[in-house]
Chains A and B, each alone.
Chain A
Amino acid sequence: MMLCTNMVRLLGFVELRNFESIRVMDVGDEVQKVFCWTGQIGNLVLPILWHILHFVISTWYCAQYIAHVIESYFISSGLMKRYKSLNLDRLYLAVVVDSEEVHQTSKVIELLHWLSAIGVKNVCLYDAEGKGALVKLRVLKKSKEAILERLDVAKLSEGTIKNDPLLDQKHINLEFASYSDGKEAVAKSANLLFVKYYLGRDQKVPIFIESHITEALKTVGSGGPDPDLLLVYGPARCHLGFPAWRIRYTEIVHMGPLKSMKYGSLVKAMQKFTIVRQNYGK
């Protein structure tokens, strides 16, 4: 009798345990199913949402591009008043052209024509040949003659621009700069300053300052005014080694590839520059 009772209790206990474990398994399966369904729904819905978002953003960018083209057209046609009269007589403009695009002489000439038409008087053209191409020919300098021949309003400026009031207003002063006018010129200046201030003197304390380097750069033929505005034509958004000494507070604007340059974008960049206020760190 006792044995039977114990057996019944034991069976009851085993059954209860089985029941509990089945319950636990059921709950586990249910949770697992919920996770699976949620995951499935998520994996279906999220890509759709993503594509919708992608479409919205692409449309937005497309609309922006169209607006940009239309604006450029209106600016070019002179319909927008604020772009009509830009006072750029005193602007010293630098144009950096990427080494891959500088061979497009006709484009460079067209750009200079546009600048002249806008009213820019002083331009420094910089070719983008970098330090890896020191042994190569200075492409832009080589094309200098071609540019000057074809640009009847151009006038070569050696180093600095003279603000001569008698200068023919139709002319545009051109300065050609290359990589050698940057870091190489600073090295030459350092040598010059060493000879001037240290050689044969018992000088222990450094005595030359910024203005001495500016003078030394002029002496080695790489001086010149600091450009107010620097336009970069090319795929890269950097100034490609433009003489560092001269771009302390220069505004830098990336204009995109030369082949797709637009007159409207150029005028807009100029107009934006005219409203910039600088405090030169003060």
Chain B
Amino acid sequence: MLSLTYFPLSPPLTTTPTPTLSPPPPLLLRLHHRTVSRLLCSTAQNVAIDDVVGGRVEEDDVVRLPAGMRREAMPEHVAVIMDGNRRWARTRGLPAVAGYEAGLRALKGMVQLCCRWGIRVLTVFAFSSDNWLRPKVRFLTVRIRLSVNFVEVGFLMRLLERGMKGEVNNFMRDNIRFSCIGDPSKLPDPVKELITYAEERTKHNSGLQLIVAVSYSGKYDIVQACQSIALKVKDGVIEPEDINEFLIEQELQTNCAEIPNPDLLIRTSGELRVSNFLLWQLAYTELYFTRSHWPDFGETEFLMALRSFQQRQRRYGEGDS
């Protein structure tokens, strides 16, 4: 059950006149534009998603948390399965591409919120290796009534390429380190080159680490880790008897992050499965499933996920003792 706490919006005001004019109490400013839902989920320390998308995240804003959020209980690594782009577009009578475009905007907002709230790692599932099997789709746009054939996967790749091109400078500006995991062998050459360029250029950034899973699957990650270990054993780097789960963990692709295992997994669009994403890494991850489609997942939904995470009891399988 949701527990609510009242957070006073301003310190108590006294009737004693002050000798000089002081700035109006923040209460007045807040009352102008806060809605009831915002009152529930945030205070003036919050910044609406519209305020942060495309805007620079200032250094002194990083530590600001929404009211009621405990710094010590914030997840350090958040993973997201960005599901529901196509359904979001379908419900609005739009082509699937519009859903993906909206999904990209939602991701930008999410990245900025993570920067602002001091989350260290954000891993997003952009494209599953199973998605390569998606067939050619045929859609009919509502407005122009024109039937067009296109390869959806091709569009996703172009979107990825375009998104990467536009975002590298923003990553540098916001001190974001970009990493990509997955099987690069199937990706188009321009995308591969852009990924390498973005990773190289941002590798010294110390802020949020954004990991994008492209052509990725949890099983692929485990297989490549086992292959890597087998080669190391063959080369005499490690002994066969040293092969254990911790060694495998070190060879997983998420090991590019300081915190490889997510604390919180968010899956949008109401599905209750992990869909071959970070299978190994999710052993003790708190799972949060929400009905919102990914393009609708904004600040309020993210806050709800974080509140739910902070209310849960985490033991990492250790037991209470």
Are B10 and A194 in contact, CB atoms less than 8 angstroms apart? Answer: no
Give the total number of A-B pairs whose CB atoms are below 8 A apart.
Answer: 211
Chain B interface residue count, Cβ-Cβ cutoff 8 angstroms: 76
Chain B residue contacts of A282, Cβ below 8 A: 130-131, 133-135
Interface pick from A9-17, A117-125, A150-158, A203-211? A203-211
> Which of A39, A199, A280, A282 has the most B CB atoms < 10 Å from its CB?
A39
Q: How far is the CB of B259 from chain A (nearest CB, A)?
A: 16
- Expressed in whole angstroms, the Cα–Cα distance for A189 and B226 within the complex equals 9
Once the chains are docked, how many angstroms separate the CA of A209 from the CA of B129?
14
Chain A residue nearest in CB terms to B265? A238
Known: A28-B21, A43-B12, A252-B272. A54 touches B4 (CB 8 A): yes
Stretch in A69-77, A108-116, A241-249 touching the partner: A241-249
Contact indicator A61/B2 (Cβ below 8 Å): yes
Complex interface: stretch among B52-60, B162-170, B188-196, B240-248: B240-248
Complex interface: stretch among A30-38, A80-88, A141-149, A160-168:
A30-38
Which single member of A184, A213, A242 contacts B245 (CB below 8 Å)?
A184
Chain A contacts of B25 at CB under 8 A?
A: 35, 39
Chain A residues contacting B218 (CB-CB under 8 Å) are: 244, 248
Nearest-CB residue, chain A, relative to B285: A238
Q: What's the dominant secondary structure at chain B's contact region?
A: loop
Query: Is residue A197 within 8 Å, beta carbon to beta carbon, of the partner chain?
Result: yes
Indicate if the CB atoms of A249 and B284 lie closer than 8 Å: no
Given contacts A186-B245, A194-B234, A281-B275, contact A39 B10 (CB under 8 A): yes
Binding site for A on B (CB under 8 A): 1-2, 4, 6, 8-10, 12-15, 17-18, 20-22, 24-25, 27-28, 31, 36, 39-40, 128, 130-131, 133-135, 217-220, 222-231, 233-234, 240, 243-245, 247-249, 272-276, 279-280, 282-288, 312-320
10 more A-B residue pairs beyond the given contacts A236-B314, A282-B133, with a C-beta to C-beta distance below 8 A: A43-B12, A130-B319, A186-B248, A193-B226, A209-B223, A238-B286, A240-B284, A241-B317, A278-B273, A281-B276
A sample of 15 inter-chain contacts (CB < 8 A) reads: A39-B13, A46-B9, A51-B6, A61-B1, A130-B283, A132-B316, A206-B227, A236-B284, A236-B313, A236-B314, A241-B317, A244-B283, A248-B274, A252-B274, A253-B272
